[in-house]
């Protein structure tokens, strides 16, 4: 046997052993780590989901960042600043997790910059009033937690581990949203109305964060069989509705769905059909703020280029002190 043929044979045996081990890890519900063999499609699915999630965290800073200068007190301002910083941190953990799959961070940034990458539909809606900041915390972070707690058990190690920390921080975010709405809902008539209108605006889009109905979700089945997703989009949406109905009652606010009612037989709340035409329009770039979000992201990225260059030059000096001295 020639050397070429025998090394080809060895590569085939390694791949077969890698594949068998991957199947075993999934069957045992164990973790797949960056150096493990994995099917190309598994890698691609993860990069798609994790990078979209990272982009969502980064774009998601905009509706709330917009209210930092207008928060109604110094305390509220400090809390909101900390929350927006947390979202930036989540983006960074997630880009790091995606990088371990072999996609450079710059490539992911580029995909967002050029509009090739998706981010969550919810961030294409405006935050019109201070109450919207409460509704974002309660409903948007609430939906995020509901969706993301099962992702702490995602089969890919770096993703699951990043999600553990993210979920802890999201729980705090949800509480601050709840507290804003609770304060407004127990304030003047005008404040209560503001809180109700914010919930009216964010309820439907928050439910759409879980993705299209199962019948129209091309990725769910495969992702669930690889233990990336643990529940389908509709299962998680149902879980979320069941969770927020009593919370809305405690707030004294109404969820804007006349079909919402307890179904004794199913042991769940029934709820009305969501506006899926609107959802797909937002995904195609036609939401109220798609254009504004992308323009802002591109502007911030362009204007921050010199900061990144300076930081890279500084880091290079730190790792090559001699060169740094010579260049000084």
Among 220, 227, 238, 290, binds ligand FAQ (CB under 6 A): 220
Take residue 303 and report the two structure tokens written for it.
């204007």
210 lies in the site for ligand FAQ, by CB under 6 A: yes
| Residue with Cβ nearer ligand FAQ (230 or 298) | 230
Among 233, 251, 253, 274, binds ligand FAQ (CB under 6 A): 233
CA distance linking residue 46 with residue 41, whole number of Å: 8
Beta bridge partners of 268: 263
Q: Which residue has the tokens 């009033």?
A: 129
53 lies in the site for ligand FAQ, by CB under 6 A: yes
CA distance linking residue 153 with residue 161, whole number of Å: 8
212 lies in the site for ligand FAQ, by CB under 6 A: yes
Are 301 and 109 spatial neighbours (Cβ–Cβ below 8 Å)? yes
Q: Which residue has the tokens 């045996």?
A: 13
Interface stretch with ligand FAQ, choices 49-57, 180-188, 305-313, 318-326 (CB under 6 A): 49-57
155 lies in the site for ligand FAQ, by CB under 6 A: no
10 Å CB burial of residue 188 (0-12, 13-18, 19+) is exposed
10 Å CB burial of residue 315 (0-12, 13-18, 19+) is exposed
Smallest separation (angstroms) from ligand FAQ to the CB of 56: 4
Among 4, 27, 40, 218, binds ligand FAQ (CB under 6 A): 218
132 lies in the site for ligand FAQ, by CB under 6 A: no
Take residue 217 and report the two structure tokens written for it.
């979700």
Smallest separation (angstroms) from ligand FAQ to the CB of 145: 9
Smallest separation (angstroms) from ligand FAQ to the CB of 152: 12
Q: Total binding residues for ligand FAQ by CB under 6 A?
A: 30
Are 157 and 97 spatial neighbours (Cβ–Cβ below 8 Å)? no
Residues that bind ligand FAQ (CB under 6 A): 48-49, 52-53, 56-57, 60, 87, 118, 120-121, 136, 140-141, 144, 147-148, 208-212, 217-220, 223, 229, 233, 283
């Amino acid at each position: 046997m020639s050397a070429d043929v025998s090394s080809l044979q060895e590569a085939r045996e390694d791949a077969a052993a890698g594949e068998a081990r991957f199947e075993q890890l999934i069957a045992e519900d164990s973790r797949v780590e960056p150096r493990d063999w994995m099917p190309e499609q598994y890698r691609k699915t993860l990069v798609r989901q994790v990078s979209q999630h990272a982009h969502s965290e980064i774009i998601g800073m905009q509706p709330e960042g917009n209210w930092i200068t207008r928060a109604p007190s110094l305390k509220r301002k400090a809390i909101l600043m900390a929350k927006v910083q947390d979202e930036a941190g989540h983006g960074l953990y997630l880009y790091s997790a995606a990088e371990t799959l072999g996609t450079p961070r710059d490539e992911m940034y580029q995909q967002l910059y050029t509009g090739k990458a998706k981010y969550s539909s919810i961030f294409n809606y405006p935050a019109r009033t201070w109450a919207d900041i409460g509704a974002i915390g309660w409903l948007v972070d609430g939906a995020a937690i509901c969706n993301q707690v099962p992702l702490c058990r995602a089969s890919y190690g770096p993703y699951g581990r990043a999600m553990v920390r993210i979920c802890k921080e999201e729980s705090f975010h949800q509480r601050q949203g709840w507290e804003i709405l609770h304060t407004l809902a127990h304030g003047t008539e005008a404040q209560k109305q503001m809180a109700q209108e914010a919930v009216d605006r964010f309820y439907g889009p928050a439910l759409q964060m879980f993705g299209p109905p199962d019948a129209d979700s091309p990725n769910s089945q495969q992702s669930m069989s690889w233990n990336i997703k643990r529940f389908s989009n509709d299962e998680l949406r149902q879980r979320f509705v069941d969770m927020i109905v009593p919370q809305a009652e405690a707030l004294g606010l109404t969820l804007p769905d006349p079909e919402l009612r307890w179904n004794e037989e199913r042991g769940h709340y029934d709820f009305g059909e969501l506006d899926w035409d609107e959802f797909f329009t937002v995904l195609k770039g036609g939401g109220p703020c798609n254009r504004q979000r992308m323009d802002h992201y591109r502007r911030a990225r362009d204007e921050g280029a010199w900061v990144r260059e300076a930081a890279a030059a500084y880091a290079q000096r730190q790792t090559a002190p001699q060169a740094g001295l010579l260049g000084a």
